[in-house]
């Protein structure tokens, strides 16, 4: 049995490692940081199926995850949409999710090495799941923090501002703690102890900013990322790349974590064939890329088109008018984007 090494211990890397270990494959995961940790994400999984989670051997990890059924959207201070999701989204903080996956991987014999940044050097059996490639010219900024004292009434919220959008997600059963995660364009440096509140005002989201100003932010949870692009990434030649290192869907979809799990599932049968000596490493790379394209290409293309609408003045007006008039095909879009 050949061995697999995975660079990156995020959702794609750990879930793939668990799935391979469940099938007897020796696996080492190398992670540049440590656990537990906060990550910039919406902290709800929109789209992943029970079958995918079972196939990866991690379905029971989400036995107590929140089930989100409804969403509300605002354009500035005006609510433009209230809708039911076509299937529930799973809610859990990344702090808890990553830690549960880590424990499962090590419990079943996986070897995890933390604070170990792998250099991108080609070798057979190396799966690259180490996250996005650095794009220094990118003007995108992601920020997230946990707040207490923000009542969502059980809804997922989406707030669309000028060149930005922000999602609010309950992450405790009683709704007492809320994740606030937004995508912004870089601008003047925010001042004060709560930079999210300042940035929201700069984006025309004064109503949301006022709500959060009266809430309590957990400063430890405040996390940011920059230097990234959406869509297809600059995949390294001759590498088996998964998750954010392969492509990134715009975050308004809530589908990024689902894609991490789905990409691990796409790669699983081909890696098993390699480990059993049935396929060459070169063939594995070809087949994994083809599988990922088939699974995600149309989904990400549609999401990028909608992202441009959400961050463009004319697109926002069209979207708002369609939603208020009741002609926005939300159910169809939700199915296509998850």
- Average confidence (pLDDT) over 247-259: 96
> Taking the CA of residue 60 as centre, how many other CA atoms within 13 Å lie in the half-sphere pointing to its CB?
4
Verify cis geometry, omega within 30 degrees of 0, for the bond prior to 178. Answer: no
pLDDT confidence bin for 312, thresholds 50/70/90? very high
Percentage of the chain with pLDDT > 90? Answer: 89
The predicted structure's pLDDT at residue 135: 87
Tell me which DSSP letter residue 242 carries: -
pLDDT (tens digit per residue) in 103-129: 999 999 999 999 999 988 889 999 999
119 CB-near residues (< 8 Å, 6+ apart): none
Q: Confidence band (pLDDT; 50, 70, 90) for 195?
A: confident
Alpha carbon distances (Å) from 107 to 18, 27, 28, 268, 288: 10, 13, 13, 20, 27
What's the fold here for domain 4-135+229-336? Answer: FAD/NAD(P)-binding domain (3.50.50)
User: Using one digit for the tens of pLDDT, what is the confidence trace for 65-105?
Assistant: 999 999 999 999 999 999 999 999 999 999 999 999 999 99
Domain spans of the chain, in order of start: 4-135+229-336
pLDDT per position as a tens digit, 285-307: 999 999 999 999 999 999 999 99
Q: For the residues 174-178, what does the mean pLDDT come to?
A: 93
What's the pLDDT band for 133 if we cut at 50, 70, 90? confident
């Amino acid at each position: 049995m050949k061995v697999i090494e995975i660079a990156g211990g995020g959702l794609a890397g750990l879930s793939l490692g668990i799935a391979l270990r469940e099938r007897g494959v020796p696996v080492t995961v190398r992670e540049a940081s440590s656990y537990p940790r906060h990550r910039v994400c919406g902290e709800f999984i929109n789209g992943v199926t029970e079958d995918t989670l079972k196939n990866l051997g991690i379905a029971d990890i989400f036995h107590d995850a929140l089930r989100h059924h409804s969403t509300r959207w605002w354009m500035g201070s005006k609510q433009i949409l209230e809708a039911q999701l076509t299937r529930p989204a799973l809610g859990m903080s990344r702090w808890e999710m990553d830690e549960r996956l880590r424990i499962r991987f090590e419990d079943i014999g996986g070897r995890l090495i933390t604070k170990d940044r792998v250099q991108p050097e080609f070798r057979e059996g190396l799966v690259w799941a180490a996250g996005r490639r650095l794009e220094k010219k990118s003007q995108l900024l992601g920020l997230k923090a946990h707040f207490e004292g923000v009542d969502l009434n059980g809804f997922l919220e989406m707030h669309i501002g000028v060149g930005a959008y922000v999602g609010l997600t309950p992450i405790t059963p009683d709704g007492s703690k809320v994740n606030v995660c937004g995508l912004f364009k870089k601008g003047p440096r925010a001042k004060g102890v709560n930079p999210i509140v300042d940035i929201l005002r700069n984006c025309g989201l004064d109503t949301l900013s006022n709500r959060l100003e009266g809430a309590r932010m957990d400063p430890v949870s405040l996390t940011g990322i920059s230097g990234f692009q959406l869509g297809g990434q600059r995949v390294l030649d001759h590498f088996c790349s998964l998750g954010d290192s392969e492509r990134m869907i715009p975050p308004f979809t809530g589908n990024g974590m689902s894609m991490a799990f789905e990409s691990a599932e796409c790669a699983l049968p081909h890696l098993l064939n390699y480990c059993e000596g049935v396929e060459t490493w070169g063939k594995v790379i070809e087949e994994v890329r083809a599988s990922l394209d088939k699974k995600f290409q149309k989904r990400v293309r549609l999401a990028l088109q909608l992202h441009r609408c959400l961050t463009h003045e004319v697109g926002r007006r069209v979207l708002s008018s369609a939603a208020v008039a009741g002609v926005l095909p939300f159910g169809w879009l939700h199915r296509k984007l998850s």
